[in-house]
Structure 1
Amino acid sequence: MTQLGLGLDLSTKRTRKREFLDEMGRVVPWQKLIALIEPHYPKGKTGGPPFPIQTMLRIHFMQQWFSLSDPAMEEALHDIPLYREFALLGTGMTRLPDESTILRFRHLLEAHKLSARILATVNKILHDKGLTLKVGSAVDATLISAPSSTRKSGTRDPERSQTQKGRSWYFAMKAHIGVDVESRLVHTVKCTPANVHDITVAHKLLHGKEKVAFADAGYAGIEKRGKTKAVQWHVAMRPSKRRKLDKSKPLDWIYNKIERLKAGVRAKVEHPFRVLKCQFGYLKARYRGLVKNTAHIETQFALVNLWMARKALAKAK
């Protein structure tokens, strides 16, 4: 016979998920983001009263953190008390947001390009607190895999493309980012089809105030491009050329040492990608079209910045 009611107080257990939500709840600038969305939010003159903006924003962010679709988010709100608690949906609520409500909120952010403004707002707060210095940037790109076809049309997304990396082929999009080399925080995000070469987007990843920029060997020749000549570029040597260095020779030893130093700085651009893919579990593009996925990724990197700066933000308060 199954025993129930063991007298356990489940509310006292500090799970990792609860700790994560508590930390993010403290560092997200809710009031500033609410003020950003409020002019565009429906007033509820017809139909039922709309849910508070903060509730919908918290639900939207949980979708990013836990990689939940709109239907999965609706089910999670019904199944998981912790999610309802974080979304400020108290026990007295007579209804919960359904997947259509969650979808409309996401479309509202996309229609008014609020995801880019969310990233800019977060970055301004971080800069005002002295967490970004803007003296140097590192740029890089990562492939975000896309479904080979969509359920409705059965065809590939025309705004994605196929590209080769190593010996493998991918149908994907690219997320290009510019990162502050001191803080490792993302200041610029651009998305393109996978077949767009990294070097063609590089100048758009600079904020314009940096003096130096770091990049991997895929950006070789960027210093010759007119749009980025004002910046001193430090681009990694191609691996095939570096393997030919004879470290027993003084000059080659110096070249190898310089490459190691450049790699140490350039590696900081990988930290936001690690949080995006490993911490938040964002491994595959969810939506059809670059506009929707760009909005998704911009929001993701705003949250990545807050996660990476959470300890510094806690000290700054």
Structure 2
Amino acid sequence: MASDQVLPPLPQQFKLIQHHMRTAQEHEKRDPVVAYFCRLYAMQTGMKIDSKTPECRKFLVKLMDQLEIMKKQLGDNESITQDVVGNAHIENYAYKMFLYADTEDRAGRFHKNMIKSFYTASLLYDVLTVFGELTEENIQHRKYAKWKAAYIHNCLKNGETPSSGPLGMETEFENEDDVSLPQSSDSNNLVADMPSSDLSNIQTPTADHPPSNFSTIQIPPGAHAPANTPAEVPSTSVLPSTPTIQPGPQNIPIIDPSLYSIASQGEMHLTPEDYARAQKYCKYAGSALQYEDVGTAVENLQKALKLLTTGRE
């Protein structure tokens, strides 16, 4: 296992990636794909920070070796071999962590595991940059998750009751650089004090739409997380809560009859990118079915069928 390869101590210059490395370690067995891309992000970021200082270079070389071992071990996993699938895997995982934390927040259930879910989601949105520029939605998710993790952590630390949702943050939420996560020992305790066991039996929210009054953040449609993505168990000691938000009725889209006739008009000449995008839609559809979300499954399957039969989305 990659975790058996002992890395040198993290150089002080790489403090910025310490929690991405910790997240990789926590997901070593729970979700190796997440662990792999967290380390890949850490290596790419570390190279930009300092690749010449002896201790930094030594760390990066060992990290590269670790990544090579993982890549061989996961060689038959499409999330590793195909960027589109890997991007969808990390995005879905981050989305599930984000939605779980946001639902807990809006229900007034403030606890360490909810903070960690916000915190981890923000780190995973960082990791998504290994695939290219973030979408506007993911940029907003990352900003909001960072803000919430720091805000709720500080409130609980000071014995204060946090406010649910984005209320009171609109004027503060203009620049991501202004959002600071807990630092030093507080930041370490934030992560270290929380359980990291695989708790995949925990029921997480299945709503496709964001909670009410979620004015500044938009959740991308159809971005379902795999069912085996572990969530953190809520603390048994929580503040008084409001009712949990329930998912609304499913809207199943009508199947376009023209898609069936198009398929018989001749063979399409598709590019590798077309096939990759079609796989992404099928992956979203499969994840949606795990949540019994027929509407989103049908919608994504129709997108895949249209792409495969017309070459257009």
Q: TM-score, normalised by structure 2?
A: 0.28
Q: Would you tell me which structure has more helix in proportion to its own residues? A: 2
Greater gyration radius: 1
Bigger proportion of residues as strand: 1
